[in-house]
Chain A
Amino acid sequence: MNDMSRPSEVAETTDVKMSAQNVDVYYGDNHAIKDVSVDIADRTVTAFIGPSGCGKSTFLRCLNRMNDTIDICRVEGSIQLDGEDIYDKRVDPVQLRAKVGMVFQKPNPFPKSIYDNVAYGPRIHGLTRNRAELDEVVEKALRRAALWGEVKDRLSAPGTGLSGGQQQRLCIARAVATAPEVLLMDEPCSALDPIATAQVEELIDELRTNFSVVIVTHSMQQAARVSQRTAFFHLGDLVEFGETGQIFTNPQDPRTESYITGRIG
């Protein structure tokens, strides 16, 4: 976890994978997200930082329409994936979520075997034709999540029997097994110890070669370590969005500066 392992803080591509324009989110009468516009670049790690309750998780959940499950939640504005509006009436959120995967704050493996956890996504989406192919997909996903070595001998053991860090990596494996284009991570390391955190961060950096990753984090050090671009949210506003290096070394907004130096939040 030294700064030497820090990935380059310059975005390597400029292709826009997801684009949110003037997004407003309401929980009943509560205006949770106010006029936020963010472009998520392809094959890049984008970090959302900000104090608790600033709306970064809410915004993240808008990106794969997980907020649909909350009755009182209302989303306005446009969010596009590869130029297609994901809130279009014709879009089936189930299909969207296969393209935009999600890893949650608390490790939440299914109470099934490790194998079944990873194989669940490919199974329901019909990504494989036979058992051999499925085995291959599961192995690949577990290798990607740096978990293969630890679990290859006990794939039929229950996923809930793993340690916290292993469970979170299992959840990541489960998310990447469906071959999403964008991976959303909602504070994936908040329940993990420093060693597991380092493993997950390493993993995120690797995933960048294949996916766009959006990560919500409380830890500014983590944002600085893993992301190329950073967005700072405060009280539902997007205060500042730019190259990670610039946000942390030369913030433009006084609120950003106060937050990253620990005066607010």
Chain B
Amino acid sequence: MTDAAIPMKRTSLLQPDARTKSRNAAEARFRAYGFVAVLVALLALAALLVSILGNGMSAFRQTALTIQVELPEATLDKSGIRDPEVMKKVTTIGYGKILTKAVDAAIADAGIKIEDLSGKEVAKFLSGEAAAQLRDRVLANPDLIGRTVEIEVLVNGRIDGYYKGRVSAESALLDSNVSPAQLKLADALKESGMLRTKFNMAFVTAPDASDQRPEAAGLGVAVLGSLYMMIIVLVLSLPIGVATAVYLEEFAPRNRMSDLIEVNISNLAAVPSIVFGILGLAAFINFAGLPQSAPIVGGLVLTLMTLPRIIIPARAALKAVPPSIRDAALGVGASKMQSVFHHVLPLAAPGILTGMIIGLAQALGETAPLLLIGMVAFVRDYPDLPLDGFFDPATALPVQIYNWTQRADPAFVERASGAIIVLLVFLVVMNGLAILLRRRFERRW
């Protein structure tokens, strides 16, 4: 430390030297990169949201026609005994004819006159689902027969698309499913107040519908299926995952065996999810004989997939608890188990919870393994309530989205985007719940 070691040079503090300048420039550049990165991410998010909301919000609105329908006993219940079993012989075709007649009458009553509107076009103005809606209603309440009731029925998806900007008079000319005359009829009915576009609760509650009836397709079965699977995943993976993490982190001896287990868990977290689907197919369906397309199998597969993704953050959270807390507990004579369950685990809980929610969110959005265990099937029947419902066929939200994007009718683009919105809402609710729970938990300490 002699003065000769560093030659002294007089510099002014008011004049930054070259080195300082280049250091400051480097920092400024780094900040700019970071800012740009955040900006790009935000723009991407905004683009995603705008695209999904733009395409999907219309799925929550649906056009329906309100008409008076006369329900003649002669066609619907010849026997006159109002026995639903007998009445079931009348198919939707029979109800379809009644509906067509009712629409004709409504057109006449309103004094609407449209040239070159054929009878077939009037019949196809309504959704194929409309007759089924009417039939379900009559079968549920046979006393309606012989009376004239007011009913709200779905109209054809193209007519609905007309009010959502998908269909225009020009495109209708080229479209075999819709004619300009039908659009004129729609405008006239709208004028008279019979045709209305309103909030579409059925989108979230109704089951899926076939390719020809996008207007009737809903997410009900998929929402239930996803909910059931999440229940199974939560109930199985939370205790197993946390217990594994606690055992490995706090109790297991450090040896070759525990190293092997650790490496395997890390590897499992990186295994593509479709591989878990194959495992589920082989183990749960082919070997154990569980039913296909059932939430129980989906839940088990997703549990296997989620476990390593829960164990790893849980171990990290346990590791982050300062060892002084363990010492303190042992020092006053707590047993190992008491020190873990009274002190270490509560301190690690927020971290474990976060890992848990992230794992669940991933499981909720997982599609690939579910395709392999048959959850991609077209399911129109709601599963029962748990526990029986766990074994009934169902689909899942992401699979339903995948399914809808495969279909030809452009109305399904709107449905798929709407389903993505529902999925996102689910995820936001789950994350919000996680944050809420964390806050509550942390306040106690």
Contacts and interface: CB of A to CB of B under 8 A. Distances in A.
A104 B333 contact: no
B331 to A, nearest CB: 4
A70 to B, nearest CB: 11
> Of residues A102, A111, A121, which shows the largest number of chain B Cβ atoms within 10 Å of its Cβ?
A111
Contacts of B334: 94, 120, 124
A66 B328 contact: no
Contact of B327 (A71, A104, A124, A174): A104
Interface string A172-197: 00110110000000000000000000
> Of residues B325, B329, B331, B343, which shows the largest number of chain A Cβ atoms within 10 Å of its Cβ?
B331
A101 B338 CA distance: 17
B107 interface: no
B332 A71 contact: no
Contact of B328 (A71, A94, A95, A171): A171
A17 interface: no
Nearest to A174: B332
Contacts of B324: 104, 106, 108
User: Chain A: interface residue count, which band?
Assistant: 20 to 34
A98 interface: yes
Contacts of B326: 69
Interface in A44-98: 64, 66, 69, 71, 94-95, 97-98
A177 B342 CA distance: 18
A173 to B, nearest CB: 11
Interface in B188-227: none
A202 B347 CA distance: 34
> Of residues A69, A110, A177, which shows the largest number of chain B Cβ atoms within 10 Å of its Cβ?
A110
Contacts of A158: 445
Interface string B65-108: 00000000000000000000000000000000000000000000
B335 interface: yes
B23 interface: no
B330 interface: yes
Given A71-B253, A124-B338, A158-B445, A109 B332 contact: no
A217 B328 CA distance: 19
A69 B328 CA distance: 13
Nearest to A177: B332
Contact of A109 (B328, B330, B335, B342): B328
A140 interface: no
Contact of A97 (B254, B332, B347): B332
A66 B330 contact: yes
A22 to B, nearest CB: 26
Contact of B335 (A94, A110, A174, A175): A94
Contact of B332 (A69, A95, A111, A121): A121
Contact of B333 (A69, A94, A106): A94
A101 B327 contact: no
Contacts of B332: 97-98, 101, 120-121, 124, 174-175, 177-178
Given A111-B347, A111-B445, A120 B342 contact: yes
A71 B253 CA distance: 8
Interface in A105-119: 106, 108-112
Nearest to A64: B331
Contacts of B253: 71
5 contacts: A64-B331, A71-B253, A106-B324, A108-B327, A175-B331
Interface of A: 64, 66, 69, 71, 94-95, 97-98, 101-104, 106, 108-112, 120-121, 124-125, 158, 171, 174-175, 177-178
